[in-house]
Structures are given as structure tokens and as C-alpha cells.
């Protein structure tokens, strides 16, 4: 996607303006930058953007109104990707966001914005209907997984590939991140699916779901 | 708790120090009127009788009519307010009685914790006032003080009559020298109530009989005094003290709940401050630096130096702001200067104030860190209040150690010359301070008439 149309919901003005500028400098269109959940829902209904960046803690209660708004968006505006953006990671929030469908959803720590290119790539992936899970979510899933035995059978490189798959990256993304060839990635993926007994799945989204279900189960 | 000083002959712990032989019963009886204890208790009665009668009279006059009025349909509120007045009066009197007992008898009675105002509607506050157990017990004591005062009055009468009767033989020859042939009318011996006079003298020899009667009265007087004073001590201990264990436990449970709530609230506040402050600034800073890195490119000539400079400037500013915020947050959690001492911390606080502050701190002994911290934050909050709300031109802060009923207290006074009208019940920060002070059994009192000046006194124990 060359030019994304984005709605930003973030109550800290500093970040709201910074993000707007960051995206605009890269040629994306920020349709609206708002500071609470109500305004977010209205802006998405009005602009039908490709993707919405949503802070979890916003006024008035500063708890999880951003998350609830994100779930509403997932339900009511399936054409709009939702990137939930937060200063801390709650695995349960991730589970609620994914809830059977990994298409067009992301959950990232705010600090990921420091690596601008990665951040924009993740946002683009979500806008295109893909998935972007924070490495922190994935490592928490690894730690909490009840399939420690299955995971122990993986080589170190295979674990890296599994983590990147769980983040929602495509084979091309994985090969770029690990600096290995596309063929090598395919070989690792096939090996991982074989060792963990996962059914081979078509498409990145179904693959993400399969991996997450395995890690979370 | 024992009021018996060493050296008393009647000490329950045996003979007086220095006595070679055990004191015989006869010696104890004969010497009883001359012991320091007899003197102390006699003097106590002398003070206690007028105080007791006056106190009982005052409380009865407020309480009686109030109860009568409150029983009527229309007067309930007025009557109950009267009862509240009686409760407060009795608490004050109780403090006075405790002080007298401590000074004159050496009877140390732990004061009940000060009444804690309930927050809420007038009904809630009235209800809390009426449930003031310590106040009701103080009323009980002030009322029972009347029969006690009567008993103490009788004991005093024994002393007075005994002394008077002993003097008969001395003045008899001076005033009653019989002229020859005259018959003198009989003179009655002074006799304490409720007895009528039954010893009379018509001659000097007769006056000796009166003197013996007086001596007998003086021998009885200390024991009678001891009896009524012991009853008084017992009542004071049961009714004027901090109260039953149950009451104390309930107070402590409430205090503990407040401490836990406050610490959780404090942690939440710190989390919120970090989340909304420094964390946002650092994230924005990282973003700016990330963008700047891109503008500078991987190597060679930077594609957009001007924009990169702008972004680095913004990040630099953000870093400085984050540092300031973190410093203030850290100071809000625990000011490092408190390690040096409360006096230093108060001086630092004053130096950072927007209006002139004069600090006078005389603290020869350091309270525990928890107490110093509470005192510091109270001073900081009160100073902030004075700056923000009172329109004061100057503030005086004083901290000193005072002696109160044989314990030391840290007393913090914050006075401003502003417009006054500060009210702990007004939902201000004062109520929060009162809660915080209350968790360590301290007390906060406010004098802030409309028009000023405002004086806030905080008394804290030396250790939590």
C-alpha cells in the first residue's frame, strides 16, 4: 500500500502530533487525530480509514477504553485495520483483540515507534489486513506456553522464525529480518509445522492464528 | 500506673527504703496522716471537689435539657446538637481531669485518640459524633464525679475538723479563762458531717478530750481520703483512658485500612505520573531520534540535514523535560533531603516556595523517618494550599518537640496571613492530611476564621 489513510487516537498530545508528523512525512494521510474513544469511533465512521492507531488508556477513566473501542471497530468496520498502541503489554488484551481472527489487527508497545521503518511497516501490514504483534507479546506467549516440551524440540533458528511468524510477518519479512534466503525460511517453516504437529495453513493470517493458538493453548 | 511513690509508708511493696525493721501496723496507723501520699491525696481532694462539682453541673446542664428536647418531635436535631456539645465538653473536662490526676497523683492515663470527623453529610457527621464512645465515657465520669466529690468533701472535713479540734487546748486558756464563779457554756468539738456534734468541752481538761477526738479524726482521715481517691483513680482509669481494647483495635483497624488505601493510591498516582509524563516524553524522544536517524541516512551525505537537526533539537528538549519531570516525581516520592533531617527538608521546601516562608525548627531529637516524612508532606501540602488558595504574603512554619503528658510530640505549626476560611470538612486536601496524620495517632487542628489568618497545628508522636 503506497498511501495509507490513518486515524490516530492518542491522548498524549506530544505523541499524537509526533505520530501525525511521522506518517505525513512519509506521504500517508492522517484523516483525524483525536484524544478519546468516542471521537475515534466517530472519526472512523466518517473517514473509513485503512487503519486506526489506538491508545489503550484514554480519558475519561484511563483504563481500557481504547481497547474496547478497538474491539468495536473490529466488529463494525472490518475494512479498517486496528493497531492498538500501549505503554505496557497485557497478553489477555492481545487474546481479546485476536479472538479468532488475526486479520487487520496489531498490538504494539509505544516504544516501537523509535524504529520508524519497522513501525511503519507494521502499520502497513495491519492496514493491508495482516497482523502485527509486539515481540513482547510473543515472548510472553513463549514463556507462558504449556507446550514447553514441543518448543524445546525446535532449533534456535526455528524458534526465531516461529517468533517472527507469531508477530505476523510474512516469509519475505522473516527472511529480511533474519537475513536468510526465502527458501531457507520456507524450509524452517515446514520443519516447525512438522515438529509441532500443526496443520499446514494457507495464507499469513491463518498461519498466525495457528501459531498463536499453539502457543496460547 | 501506680501512684505510690517510693518512700510511702503504705507502699504495697513493703517497708519504705531505708527502714531497718518492718513497719509495724501501729506505726503505719499512727504515721499515716504524715505520709507524702496522704498529703498528695488530700491536696488532690481539695482541687477535685470544686472541679468535680462544677464539671458535673456543666455537663448535666447541657446534657439533661438536650436529651429532653431531643425526645420531642420538633427538637430532635437541636437536642442532638446539644448532646454533641455535651460530648465535646465532657472530652475537654476529661482531659482536664486526666491532667490533674497526672500532676497531683502521678496517675498516668492514656488519652483516648482524638475524635475523627467523619466525611459526608451532616447526618453522617452527627451520627459519628453521637457514637463517640470516648465522649460518652467521659460524660459518665463527669457525672459520677459528683458522688466522688461528696466523698472527697467528707474526707476533707475529717482533716479540717481534726486539725481544728486539736487546736482547742491551745486557744482555750487564751479566750476561755474562766472568771471566778462564772459558768462557761459548753463548746462543741468540730465534727465532720454527717455526724452531729457529740463531744463538748466546758473546761480546759474538756478541751483536751476534744483534742483527742480531733487526733482520732486525723488518724481516720488519710484512710478515708485514700478510699475515695482510689475509687476516683479507678473510675478515671476505666472511663477517661483510651478505652477498651476492642475500641482500640477498631481504631487501629480503621487506621490500617487507611494506610493501605493511601499507599495503593500513592502507587497508582506514581504509575499514572510516569505513564502520562516521563514515559510519553521518552517515547516521543525515541520517535524523534528514530526519524532523525532516517533523515541522516546510513552513511555518506545526509539527505535532509535541516530536518534532522530539528528532530534532534526536539529530542534534546524532550530529554531535558523528561529529566525535570523525573526529578520532581522522585522528590514527590521521597525527598532525598529528608535523610539529612526534617529541619533541612523544611528549609529546602521554604527556599522553593513562591511566597516568602520563614522556617523555625528546633528539633534536638529526631523523630522516626516515617514521622518526619508525614510532617514534611503535611508542610508541603499546607504551603501549597497557602500559596494557591489563601492569597497570603508570607507563611511561617515552625517545628518543635514538645512534652505532653510525659511523652514527646512533634508539633508542626503552619501559619499564613491569608484570607482564611480553610475547612477540613470542605473536601479540601486538609481532610486527606487529617487522615494521614490520624494513621499514626497524630492530630490536626485548624484555626482559620474568614478573613484570616490561618493557623494549622499538627501534632505527631515521635515514632509511628
- Which of B99, B132, B127, B126 has its CA nearest to residue B113? B132
Range of A199's domain? 139-216
Asked if B295 is an interface residue toward chain A (Cβ–Cβ < 8 A), one would say no
Q: Tell me, what's the pLDDT at B333? A: 85
Please, are residues A23 and A5 in contact by the beta-carbon 8 Å criterion? Answer: no
Q: Do A125 and A189 sit in the same domain of this protein?
A: no
Query: Which residue of chain A has the CA closest to B275?
Result: A87
Q: Are A182 and A175 in contact (CB under 8 A)?
A: yes
Q: Please check whether residue B260 lies inside any domain of the structure.
A: no
Min Cα distance B417 → chain A (Å) is 38
Instruction: Please list, in sequence order, all residues whose beta carbon lies within 8 angstroms of the beta carbon of residue A9, skipping any fewer than 6 positions away.
Output: A33, A34, A35, A36, A37, A39, A40, A43, A52, A53, A54, A55, A58, A66, A69
Closest to A98 measured CA to CA, from A86, A90, A106, A110: A106
Chain A residues touching residue B288 (CB < 8 angstroms): 18
Contact yes or no for B333/B270 (Cβ under 8 A): yes
Q: CB–CB of B280 and A12 under 8 A? A: yes
Query: Are A167 and A112 in a shared domain?
Result: no
φ and ψ at residue B96, rounded to 5 degrees = -65, -45
- Picking from B275, B281, B290, the nearest residue to A114 by CB comes out as B290
| Domain limit, last residue, from A88, A112, A133 | A133
Cβ <8 Å between A12 and B272:
no
Contacting residues of A for B286, CB less than 8 Å apart: 111, 113-114
> For residues B61 and B67, is the Cβ–Cβ distance under 8 A?
no
Arithmetic mean of pLDDT over chain A: 90
CATH classification at residue B383? 3.30.565.10
CB contact under 8 A, A113 and B286: yes
Burial of A149 (0-12, 13-18, 19+ CB in 10 A): exposed
Chain A environment of B273 (Cβ under 8 Å): none
| Contact call for B290 and A115, based on CB within 8 A | yes
> What is chain B's pLDDT, residue by residue, as a tens digit (464 residues)?
344 444 444 444 444 444 455 668 888 888 888 888 888 899 999 999 999 999 999 999 999 888 888 888 777 888 888 888 999 999 999 999 999 998 888 888 878 877 777 777 788 888 888 888 888 999 999 999 999 999 999 999 999 998 988 888 887 777 766 666 666 677 777 888 878 777 777 777 788 888 888 899 899 889 999 999 999 999 998 888 876 676 678 778 888 888 888 889 889 989 988 998 889 999 999 999 999 998 888 888 888 889 999 999 999 999 999 999 998 888 888 888 898 899 999 999 998 888 999 999 989 999 999 999 999 999 999 998 888 888 888 999 999 998 876 788 999 999 998 888 887 776 668 888 888 898 888 889 888 888 878 899 999 999 87
Residue B426 sits in the same domain as residue B313: no
Measure the CA–CA gap between A49 and A31, rounded to whole angstroms: 7
Helix axes B278-296, A13-25, angle to 10 degrees: 20
Residue pointed to by grid coordinates 484555626: B447
Q: What domain count does chain A have?
A: 2
Q: With 0-12 CB in 10 A as exposed, 13-18 as middle and 19+ as buried, what is B288?
A: buried
| Same domain as A177, residue A111 | no
Cα distance from B54 to chain A (closest Cα, Å)? 58
Kindly state whether residues B53 and B177 are assigned to the same domain. Answer: yes
Domain that holds residue B222: 1-9+25-243
Same domain membership, residue B341 and residue B328 = no
Going by the DSSP 8-state scheme, the letter that residue B230 receives in this structure is: H
Q: Please answer whether residues A36 and A65 qualify as being in contact, where contact means their C-beta atoms are separated by less than 8 angstroms.
A: yes
Mutate to test the interface with A, among B281, B283, B322 (most CBs of A within 10 A): B283
Cell numbers 518543635: residue: B400
**pLDDT over 90 (residue A132):** yes
**The C-alpha cell of B461 is what?**
508522636
Q: Are residues B223 and B32 in contact, defined by beta-carbon separation less than 8 angstroms?
A: yes
- Examine the domain organization and report whether B325 and B391 are in the same domain: no
Mark whether A169 and A103 lie in a shared domain. no
Q: Do B287 and A15 touch (CB under 8 A)?
A: yes
Alpha carbon distance B113, B135 (integer Å): 11
Assess whether B415 and B292 both reside in one domain.
Answer: no
Residues A79 and A122 in one domain: yes
Size of interface A-B (CB pairs under 8 A): 45
Residues A25 and A128 in one domain: yes
Angle at B105 between CA B100 and CA B108, to 5 degrees: 75
Q: Do B291 and A116 touch (CB under 8 A)?
A: yes
CATH number, domain containing residue A99: 3.40.50.2300
Contact A113 B283 (CB under 8 A): yes
Provide the edge-to-edge strand list for the sheet that holds A81-86: A29-34, A5-9, A51-55, A81-86, A105-109, A131-133
Closest among A159, A88, A83 to A120, alpha carbons compared: A83
Cβ of residue B322 closer than 8 Å to a chain A Cβ: no
Shared domain for A113 and A172, answered yes or no, is: no
Cα distances (angstroms) measured from residue B277 to each of A64, B312, B328: 18, 20, 11
For residue B151, CA distances in Å to B57, B216, B229 come to: 17, 19, 9
Pairwise CB contact (< 8 Å): A14 & B286: no
Both A127 and A193 in one domain: the answer is no
Residues A143 and A120 in one domain: no
Computed over its alpha carbons, how large is the radius of gyration of chain B? 35
Domain final residue, candidates A133, A163, A183: A133
Q: How many C-beta atoms lie closer than 10 Å to residue B165's C-beta? A: 26
The answer to whether residue A114 neighbours chain B at the CB level (below 8 Å) is yes
**Mean pLDDT across A148-175:** 90
Looking at residue B21, its pLDDT comes to: 54
Q: Are residues B354 and B382 in the same domain?
A: yes
Distance from CA of B133 to the nearest CA of A (A): 40
What gap in Å lies between CA B9 and CA B23, rounded to an integer? Answer: 8
Clarify whether residues B328 and B404 are in a common domain.
no
Over residues A5-32, the pLDDT tens digits come to 999 999 999 999 999 999 999 999 999 9
Q: Where are the beta strands (DSSP E) in A26-167?
A: 29-34, 51-55, 81-86, 105-109, 131-133
**Given an 8 Å threshold on Cβ–Cβ distance, is B279 in contact with A87?**
yes
| B271 contact A CB<8A | no
Measured in angstroms, the CA of A25 and the nearest CA of chain B are apart by 10
Rounded to whole angstroms, the Cα distance separating B172 from B155 reads 26
Q: What is the pLDDT of residues A47-68, one digit of tens each?
A: 999 999 999 999 888 888 999 9
Residue B304 shares a structural domain with residue B357: no
pTM: 0.60
Burial label for A60, CB within 10 Å (0-12, 13-18, 19+), is: exposed
Which of B183, B180, B182, B209 lies closest to B197, judged by CA?
Answer: B209
| B203 and B350 co-located in one domain | no
B188 shares its domain with B311: no
Q: Integer distance in angstroms from the first to the last C-alpha of chain A?
A: 34
**Same-domain check for residues A106 and A165:** no
**A15 with B283: Cβ contact below 8 A:** yes
Give the nearest chain B residue to A63 (CA atoms). B272
In a domain? residue B151: yes
Contact of A113 with chain B, judged by CB distance below 8 Å, is answered with yes
Residues on chain A touching B289 (C-beta within 8 angstroms)? 114
Whether A116 sits inside 8 A of B288 (CB atoms) is: no
Among A95-109, A114-128, A130-144, B3-17, where is mean pLDDT lowest?
A: B3-17
Q: Is the Cβ pair B294, A117 closer than 8 Å?
A: yes
> Does residue B194 have a cis peptide bond before it, meaning omega lies within 30 degrees of 0?
yes
Confirm or reject contact between B272 and chain A (CB < 8 A): yes
A111 pLDDT exceeds 50? yes
- Spatial neighbors of B150 by CB under 8 A, at least 6 apart, are none
* A112 & A198 share domain: no
Nearest to B280 among A14, A62, A119 (CB): A14
- Compute the distance between CA of residue B366 and CA of residue A152 in angstroms, rounded to an integer: 59
Give dist(CA B222, CA B159) in Å, integer: 8
Say whether both A167 and A111 belong to one domain.
Answer: no
Length of chain A: 217
* Cell 478497538 belongs to residue: A70
> Alpha-carbon distance B422 to B452, whole Å?
9
Give residue for cell 439533661.
B64
For residue A152, what is the domain's CATH number? 1.10.10.10
Amino acid at each position: 500500500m503506497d498511501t495509507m489513510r490513518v486515524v490516530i487516537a492518542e491522548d498524549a498530545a506530544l505523541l499524537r502530533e509526533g505520530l501525525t508528523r511521522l506518517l505525513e512525512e512519509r506521504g500517508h494521510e492522517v484523516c483525524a487525530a483525536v484524544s478519546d474513544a468516542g471521537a475515534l469511533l466517530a472519526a472512523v465512521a466518517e473517514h473509513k480509514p485503512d487503519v486506526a492507531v489506538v491508545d489503550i488508556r484514554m480519558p475519561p477513566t484511563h483504563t481500557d477504553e481504547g481497547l474496547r473501542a478497538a474491539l468495536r471497530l473490529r466488529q463494525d468496520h472490518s475494512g479498517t485495520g486496528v493497531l492498538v498502541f500501549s505503554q505496557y503489554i497485557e497478553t489477555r488484551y492481545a487474546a481479546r483483540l485476536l479472538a479468532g481472527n488475526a486479520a487487520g489487527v496489531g498490538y504494539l508497545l509505544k516504544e516501537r515507534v523509535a524504529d520508524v521503518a519497522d513501525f511503519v511497516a507494521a502499520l502497513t501490514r495491519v492496514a493491508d489486513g495482516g497482523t502485527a504483534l509486539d515481540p513482547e507479546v510473543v515472548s510472553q506467549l513463549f514463556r507462558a506456553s504449556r507446550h514447553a516440551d514441543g518448543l524445546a524440540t525446535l532449533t534456535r533458528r526455528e524458534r526465531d522464525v516461529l517468533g517472527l511468524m507469531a508477530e505476523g510477518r510474512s516469509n519475505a519479512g522473516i527472511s529480511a529480518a533474519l537475513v536468510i534466503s526465502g527458501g531457507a525460511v520456507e524450509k524452517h517453516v515446514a520443519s516447525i509445522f512438522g515438529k509441532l504437529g500443526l496443520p499446514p495453513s494457507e495464507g499469513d493470517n491463518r498461519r498466525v492464528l495457528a501459531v498463536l493458538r499453539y502457543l496460547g493453548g | 500506673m501506680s501512684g505510690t511513690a517510693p518512700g510511702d509508708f503504705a507502699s504495697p511493696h513493703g517497708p519504705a527504703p531505708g527502714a531497718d525493721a518492718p513497719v509495724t501496723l501501729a506505726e503505719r496507723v499512727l504515721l499515716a496522716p504524715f505520709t507524702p501520699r496522704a498529703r498528695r491525696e488530700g491536696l488532690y481532694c481539695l482541687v477535685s471537689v470544686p472541679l468535680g462539682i462544677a464539671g458535673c453541673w456543666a455537663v448535666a446542664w447541657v446534657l439533661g435539657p438536650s436529651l429532653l428536647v431531643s425526645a420531642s418531635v420538633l427538637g430532635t436535631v437541636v437536642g442532638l446538637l446539644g448532646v454533641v456539645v455535651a460530648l465535646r465538653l465532657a472530652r475537654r473536662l476529661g482531659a482536664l481531669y486526666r491532667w490533674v490526676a497526672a500532676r497531683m497523683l502521678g496517675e498516668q492515663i492514656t488519652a483516648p485518640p482524638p475524635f475523627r470527623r467523619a466525611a459526608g453529610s451532616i447526618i453522617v457527621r452527627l451520627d459519628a459524633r453521637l457514637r463517640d464512645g470516648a465522649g460518652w465515657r467521659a460524660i459518665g465520669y463527669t457525672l459520677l464525679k459528683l458522688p466522688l466529690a461528696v466523698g472527697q468533701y467528707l474526707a476533707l472535713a475529717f482533716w479540717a475538723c481534726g486539725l481544728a479540734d486539736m487546736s482547742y487546748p491551745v486557744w482555750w486558756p487564751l479566750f476561755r479563762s474562766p472568771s471566778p464563779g462564772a459558768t462557761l457554756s459548753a463548746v462543741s468539738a468540730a465534727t465532720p458531717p454527717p455526724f452531729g456534734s457529740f463531744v463538748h468541752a466546758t473546761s480546759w481538761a474538756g478541751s483536751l478530750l476534744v483534742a483527742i477526738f480531733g487526733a482520732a479524726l486525723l488518724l481516720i482521715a488519710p484512710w478515708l481520703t485514700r478510699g475515695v481517691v482510689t475509687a476516683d483513680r479507678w473510675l478515671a482509669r476505666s472511663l477517661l483512658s483510651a478505652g477498651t481494647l476492642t475500641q482500640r483495635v477498631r481504631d487501629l483497624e480503621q487506621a490500617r485500612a487507611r494506610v493501605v488505601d493511601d499507599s495503593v493510591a500513592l502507587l497508582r498516582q506514581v504509575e499514572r505520573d510516569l505513564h502520562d509524563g516521563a514515559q510519553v516524553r521518552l517515547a516521543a524522544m525515541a520517535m524523534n531520534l528514530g526519524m532523525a536517524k532516517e533523515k541522516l541516512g546510513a552513511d555518506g551525505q545526509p539527505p535532509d540535514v535541516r530536518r534532522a537537526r530539528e528532530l534532534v533539537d526536539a529530542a534534546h528538549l524532550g530529554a531535558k523535560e523528561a529529566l525535570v519531570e523525573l526529578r520532581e516525581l522522585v522528590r514527590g516520592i521521597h525527598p532525598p533531603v529528608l535523610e539529612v533531617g526534617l529541619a533541612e527538608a523544611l528549609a529546602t521546601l521554604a527556599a522553593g516556595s513562591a511566597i516568602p516562608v520563614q522556617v523555625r525548627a528546633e528539633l534536638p531529637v529526631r523523630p522516626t523517618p516515617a514521622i518526619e516524612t508525614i510532617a514534611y508532606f503535611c508542610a508541603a501540602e499546607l504551603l501549597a494550599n497557602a500559596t494557591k488558595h489563601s492569597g497570603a504574603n508570607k507563611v511561617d512554619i515552625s517545628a518543635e518537640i514538645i512534652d505532653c503528658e510525659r511523652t514527646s510530640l512533634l508539633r508542626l505549626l503552619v501559619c499564613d496571613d491569608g484570607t482564611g476560611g480553610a475547612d477540613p470538612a470542605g473536601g479540601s486536601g486538609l481532610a486527606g492530611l487529617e487522615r494521614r496524620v490520624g494513621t499514626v495517632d497524630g492530630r490536626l487542628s485548624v484555626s482559620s476564621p474568614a478573613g484570616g489568618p490561618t493557623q494549622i497545628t499538627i501534632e505527631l508522636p515521635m515514632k509511628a
